[in-house]
Amino acid sequence: MATADTYPHIALATDGKAVIEGTRYTVEHIAAEQYFYGWSAEEILRQHPDLLPAEVYATLAYFHDHCDSTVAAIEAGRTRAERARGPEPVSRDELLRRRAATDCRNG
């Protein structure tokens, strides 16, 4: 991994993604928590006690300096997840209707 020179604690993985050095966290992961949930650095630290304050602040600095590309990656990931999830689950009423239609006692 190459270290991102201007961001201590941030390294570039072989796939080009920015990661918090020595952890399993990508910048995209932490940035998504701020982007979707509005979490502050303090809340991120509370949610991830294994991270150091310097790591979180470096991650957020990287995110805000690369905001457009990071948000695009976050949104692309969300789109992939929504597609993989498939259609909405069947409602209880629909399941009962299907059950009634196939019940051998109905006819």
Long-range contacts of 49-52 (CB under 8 A, 24+ apart): 50/23, 51/20, 51/23, 51/25, 52/9
List, for residues 91-101, the tens digit of each pLDDT value: 888 888 888 88
List of E strands, 47-101: none
Fold for 2-106, please state it.
Answer: Arc Repressor Mutant, subunit A (1.10.10)
pLDDT digits (tens, 9 = 90+) for 1-49: 555 568 999 999 999 999 999 999 999 999 999 999 999 999 999 999 9
Task: Output 55 or 95, whichever has higher pLDDT.
Answer: 55
The token pair that represents 42 in the structure block: 């303090």
Taking the model in full, what pTM does it have? 0.72
Contacts of 49 (CB under 8 A, 6+ apart): none
Structure tokens at 82: 């929504």
Domain regions of the chain by residue span: 2-106
